[in-house]
Structure 1
Amino acid sequence: MYYSSAIGATVNRWSFSKDYTRLSDQKIFAANNERHAGWQNVDGSFADVTENLGQQSKSDFEDPVYYRGLGFAGENFGFAYLSNGSLLKEKELYLPTGNLSPDAVQEGDVHKVGLPYNEKGALLISKYGNGKYFPRDVTSWVDATHAIVNLQEEGNYSSFIVDTAAQTEIAYIPGHFRDNWNGALSPDGTQIAFMSEPKSGTDIQTDIHIVPAGGGNPAKVEGHPHALQGKDYLTKDGTCTLIDWI
């Protein structure tokens, strides 16, 4: 067997528990491709949610099951039952990380649990009802009604603050000639770090920038230890992902 946290989904802030001691992961059995949802602990052990719920196949002659972890929200872990081994989520479920019992399982999107999000008033309003934003696009919450989100439109990547009460977008990064994504609010709420690169050029470099939360001129973070490159669908966080401030 082997593990893969990136199967079927990109790794982002919600892939981690709020204290960063757990990473949403998937255990894959090479013999029959059965997949179990769960998480890796910091000591390298794997918490197998599928097995704890008794949902694993019980013999070599039973059809393999397919589950995938969807990440964390507060004290809850979200996972999905996949249809016939595809990446299509047949059912989304979640449960508290401290209670891996069948009685604790609830149906629904874990990213909506405990967040200032509701079907009528927050992100699924008329302007965004066409699928412009989803809960997983939120990379950081500023307060109860303002969220930093990733937006991908026609190959362009942007990071905005969405005012879910006023139902408006607030640009906190100047200009229109760069791709920007994965905005993360500083612990004191005064600055936003984000990843950025030019939309075109012959020697494109991806860097981390920091800007005042109220807007201003971004400053590039110099001397970071990683070569930031690689893009992925929506969150654009392939090779390196900006997760949070420490």
Structure 2
Amino acid sequence: MSTEVIAIRLLTAIAIGGAVGYERKYNNRPAGFRTHILVCVGAAVISMIQANLMNNILELSTKNPNSVAGIKTDLGRLGAQVISGIGFLGAGTIIREKGTVKGLTTAASLWVVACIGLAVGWGFYSLSIMAAVCVVITLVSLKKFENRFLEKSNLYRMRIDYDDQSALIGDELQKYFLENNIKVKNIEYLIEDEEDYNEEHYKKNNHVSSVYTILVPRTIRIVDVLTELGNIDKLDKVFLI
């Protein structure tokens, strides 16, 4: 295998791994730009090693037919070991948090990048490039389709005003969210300007304003959520922002 061929295959692996890795890095996934490049290049190197070994065995068998009578080779063995090894790397990107599992797409992208890298190493450029295009389209374009038509929850930002003297209000909110399978993505606490509220009143009552970013199942109307939360005596105001 010539130096030019090796360089072309390695650069192709870098380009394909970088294209997929950039999308993962852009979305703040555990395995990003460099990780995908390394996986793709490593897989390509393994394929080229396997290809060179095959060529060496064929050359040896041509020159000395009797010397290779006992040699057995499996062209897919090294590639299979790469795919098995990627399983451990992919497992490291999977995170279980608050009853949800994250990182499966990143783990899958690492696996498919390794497969493409193997194809690049063997010199299947058309297959590699078309596969890379399909992967990027899946990660970028189909994500928008999934979020719009297949997502099971809607994202809302909801402001809640309440009296800080109600020490158990957080527990009541958490209980309500759990009972209705509503996931809290983020909580922000606000400090209001004096122009918006009566300072003496809210100092006296230890008023607190917070913004909840929540994921509400599509089977539940956000109007019902606002109404039910508004019926809690300890809450002053509940509204979307």
TM-score norm. by structure 1 comes to 0.23
Task: Name the one with the larger helix percent.
Answer: 2
From the CA coordinates, give the structure whose radius of gyration is larger.
Answer: 2
Task: Name the one with the larger strand percent.
Answer: 1
Larger RCO: 1 or 2 (CA < 8 Å, sep 6+): 2
